[in-house]
Amino acid sequence: MRILFFSLIIVYSLPVNSQTKSDLGLISGVSYYMGDINPKIPFYSPNISAGATYRYNLNTRYVIKGELNYCVLSANDKEFSDPYQQQRDASFIAKLYDFALQFEFNFLPLKFVERKVYFSPFVSSGLGASFVMNSASYDKTIRLVLPAAIGVRFAIGKKWSTGVQWNFRNTFRDNLDASAKFPNGVVNPIAPGYGSAINNNDWYMFAGFFLTYKVFDFGDQCPAYQKDLK
The predicted-structure confidence for 130-171, as pLDDT tens digits, reads as follows 998 876 655 567 889 999 999 999 998 888 999 999 999 999
Beta-bridge partners for 21: 57, 217
* Calpha distance 217→88 (Å, rounded): 56
Q: Which helix (H) or strand (E) holds 162?
A: strand 160-170
* Calpha distance 48→71 (Å, rounded): 6
The predicted-structure confidence for 58-79, as pLDDT tens digits, reads as follows 988 999 999 999 999 999 999 9
pLDDT higher for 195 or 152? 152
- The percentage of the chain sitting over the pLDDT mark of 70, rounded to a whole number, equals 77
Domains of the chain and any CATH numbers: 2-11+20-186+199-229 (2.40.160.20)
Beta-bridge partners for 141: none
What is the pTM assigned to this prediction?
0.80
3-state helix, strand, coil in the chain (%, to 5): 10, 50, 40
Name the 3-class secondary structure at 5: helix
